[in-house]
Amino acid sequence: MNTTIMLFLVQDGITNGAIYALLGLALVLVFAVTRVILIPQGEFVTYGALTYASLAAGQMPGTAKLALALGIGAFAFDLFVARKALHGRLIVRSALTNIVLPAIVLALTVYFAAQKPPVAVSIALSLVIVAMIGLYLYRVAFQPLAHTSVLVLLIASVGVHLALQGLGLLFFGAEGQRGPAVLSGAFTAGSLRFTGQSLTVYGITIAFIVALWLFFGLTLYGKALRATAVNRLGARLVGIRTTLSGQIAFLLASVIGALSGIMIVPITTLYYDSGFLIGLKGFVAAIIGGLVSYPLTAAAALVVGLVEAFSSFYASNYKEVIVFMLLIPVLLLRSLAAPAVEEEKD
Amino acid sequence: MSALLSVTDAHVAYGKVEAVRSVSLEVGANEIVTIVGANGAGKTTLLSAIMGILPLKGRVTFAGQDLARLDIEDRVAMGLGLVPEHRELFVTMNVEDNLELGAFRIERSKAKASMERVYTLFPRLKERRKQFAGTLSGGEQQMLAMGRALMGEPKLLMLDEPSLGLAPIIVADIFRIVTELRASGVSVLLVEQNAQAALKIADQAYVMELGEFVLSGKASDIAANERVAASYLGFQHEGESAI
């Protein structure tokens, strides 16, 4: 192997690793706050990517309708839970966030899809649509189970993943799609060629990580999220609702997922079911970080990206196998280093 | 004047085991009320249920409002605060963040002034404000837990065993602060195994044994009662079995 190939593989690995880092961070965040292992993270990726690609191609994405349907479901759940103490303000507020908002977005989507919107509009719409799906999914599928065990939440998570994947096939068909590059053009530095898209990936990943860091370090809501992750009862005793933290976590995870998808879909053809494998690689990174450490997860994600790039060069048939094999020594070491911990009681 | 907190005929059960049976109590404005009793009498269970952590059968009103349908978070917003026995601090966050989160339901403009007040009450916390809560000593953690609860501007602060496991000098400090709270208009419901100290500062007192109140009245009268000495020391009497 010569230096050019090696540098090329490193570059490729870092690009993928950056995406895995974002996804891994989202998984750690959601698990720490809600104890949900977010298998459908990969579907957020495909939904974001394919919604963006559909819009750019002038097609109406089905995800906008799904958001409205889930929103109506969330509204029904809100009303059912508050049935004994219904009051006007609660109904109006729930209707605004769960029905009016997705309805407006649906109308905008229909309007823009007919006229091939500019890239920025497609991105914004895709992000909002997937963010709403994430938010309502939490309300419908996970919030009612918030007090149950990690295992029950995991089963629900698998169910949501399968449902979303099936719906993905319905919305986008079995054909793969590609989207337009966010930043076109390229330049060469030495023997390396940087495309605008890969620079976009680096830029957005770094910007997002910095933004998350500021959010968690400086804002009251960011701190509230951390507090919920550290001590759920303590958080409730200062008046932080577990459901509010869960909503913010799911909102962030779905936005991160969609953004990752929008960043990859100009580089790789994505199918309705591609998200699962991508999400799993983020999951590998998150596991290496022990589902708690953000810096370790980000670093592990880069390693995962690099291992994937090199193994696809040397043994492309086995590249997934090699990536997932990374887990075995890590789990082995972890199980030796720390004895099994009883599940946290609530 | 009606009581700030009023509990009527409360029962709290863990499954089929009733840990608290038919308990009634009142806390007035500007009052320190203490519940004393041996370990396992049900004191912590009762406080948890008043806060909404455990389900309670019976009636609880706070500031004239029935709490039955309100979550923990709503009760906090109404001005009911609990400093639990295990403190439940955010151990991987620093002192200042813990305090700031204590004011989560308070307007941000007020939170700054609240923090200054807490730092005046507990100067030690100000010295340690950038330190992780998990690295504080036991006494400092107790101060932080109280400070965090005070950040929410409670009308009634419920303290669960604030002196447990602390050095006598720190205990004295904490009890002094409890009396200062009363002076500043915060009522306190104090659960203590250290009955002597608690009865000294309290206005009203209840003695709890095996999930029931066996005595109640003015704290000074209770302090003079022989049975309390027995209960505090964990002796058996009148055919009841101690846990």
Average pLDDT over residues B53-62: 94
User: Smallest Cβ distance to B148: which of A220, A224, A238?
Assistant: A238
User: What SS3 class is residue B156?
Assistant: strand
- CA closest to B108 among chain A residues: A220
Interface membership of A223 toward B (CB under 8 Å): yes
In this predicted structure, the answer to whether residue A11 has a pLDDT above a threshold of 70 is: yes
Query: Which pLDDT score, from 0 to 100, does residue A346 have?
Result: 44
Q: Do B101 and A233 touch (CB under 8 A)?
A: no
In this predicted structure, the answer to whether residue A192 has a pLDDT above a threshold of 70 is: yes
List for chain B the helix, strand, coil content (%; round to 5).
40, 25, 35
Interface membership of B76 toward A (CB under 8 Å): yes
User: What's the pLDDT band for A289 if we cut at 50, 70, 90?
Assistant: confident
In this predicted structure, the answer to whether residue A216 has a pLDDT above a threshold of 80 is: yes
Query: Which pLDDT score, from 0 to 100, does residue A336 have?
Result: 83
Average pLDDT over residues A212-217: 91
In this predicted structure, the answer to whether residue A203 has a pLDDT above a threshold of 60 is: yes
Query: Which pLDDT score, from 0 to 100, does residue A186 have?
Result: 78
- Residue B167 Rama label (left phi>0; alpha psi -120 to 50; beta): beta
Average pLDDT over residues A136-153: 94
Q: How far is A224 from chain B (nearest CA, A)?
A: 7
In this predicted structure, the answer to whether residue A164 has a pLDDT above a threshold of 90 is: yes
Reference A42, options A138, A164, A128, A206; nearest CA is A164
Query: Which pLDDT score, from 0 to 100, does residue B242 have?
Result: 40
User: Smallest Cβ distance to A223: which of B88, B97, B151?
Assistant: B97
Lowest mean pLDDT of A242-256, A285-299, B216-230, name the range: B216-230
DSSP A116-148: ---HHHHHHHHHHHHHHHHHHHIIIIIGGGTTS
pLDDT tens profile B100-145: 999 999 998 889 999 999 999 999 999 999 999 999 999 999 999 9
B67, exposed or middle or buried, with CB in 10 Å at 0-12, 13-18, 19+?
Answer: buried
User: What's the pLDDT band for A90 if we cut at 50, 70, 90?
Assistant: confident
In this predicted structure, the answer to whether residue A185 has a pLDDT above a threshold of 90 is: no
User: Is the pLDDT higher at A283 or at B227?
Assistant: A283
Q: What is the largest CA-CA distance in chain B?
A: 57
**In chain B, alpha helices (H):** 43-51, 72-78, 95-102, 108-121, 123-127, 138-151, 168-183, 195-201, 219-223, 226-233
Interface membership of B162 toward A (CB under 8 Å): no
Q: pTM to 2 decimals?
A: 0.87
Q: Do A233 and B84 touch (CB under 8 A)?
A: yes
In this predicted structure, the answer to whether residue B73 has a pLDDT above a threshold of 70 is: yes
User: Is the pLDDT higher at A261 or at A85?
Assistant: A261
Q: Which of residues 34-93 of A touch B (CB under 8 A)?
A: 84-85
Query: Which pLDDT score, from 0 to 100, does residue A340 have?
Result: 58
Percent of chain A residues past pLDDT 90, beyond the cut: 66
Q: How far apart are CA A92 and CA A78, in angstroms?
A: 11
Q: How far apart are CA A52 and CA A118, in angstroms?
A: 11
Q: How far apart are CA A133 and CA A125, in angstroms?
A: 12
Query: Which pLDDT score, from 0 to 100, does residue B238 have?
Result: 45
* Phi, psi dihedrals of residue B216, rounded to the nearest 5°: -155, 160
Average pLDDT over residues A15-24: 93
Query: Which pLDDT score, from 0 to 100, does residue A190 have?
Result: 74
Q: How far is A230 from chain B (nearest CA, A)?
A: 6
Reference A24, options A335, A344, A343, A326; nearest CA is A326
User: What's the pLDDT band for B232 if we cut at 50, 70, 90?
Assistant: low
pLDDT tens profile B141-172: 999 999 999 999 999 999 999 998 898 888 99
List the structure tokens of B116.
């200054």
Average pLDDT over residues A83-107: 91
User: What's the pLDDT band for A1 if we cut at 50, 70, 90?
Assistant: low
ipTM for the whole complex: 0.90
Interface membership of A241 toward B (CB under 8 Å): yes
**In B79-215, alpha helices (H):** 95-102, 108-121, 123-127, 138-151, 168-183, 195-201
**In chain A, alpha helices (H):** 3-34, 41-56, 63-81, 88-95, 101-113, 119-137, 150-172, 196-218, 220-230, 232-237, 242-264, 274-288, 294-314, 319-325, 327-337
Query: Which pLDDT score, from 0 to 100, does residue A341 have?
Result: 55
Q: Do B88 and A231 touch (CB under 8 A)?
A: yes
**In chain A, which residues have their Cβ closer than 8 Å to the Cβ of B87?**
234
User: What SS3 class is residue B178?
Assistant: helix
Interface membership of B79 toward A (CB under 8 Å): no
- CA closest to A239 among chain B residues: B73
Q: Do B91 and A231 touch (CB under 8 A)?
A: yes
Q: How far is A84 from chain B (nearest CA, A)?
A: 9
Interface membership of B147 toward A (CB under 8 Å): no
Query: Which pLDDT score, from 0 to 100, does residue A17 have?
Result: 93
Q: How far is A121 from chain B (nearest CA, A)?
A: 35
- CA closest to A241 among chain B residues: B73
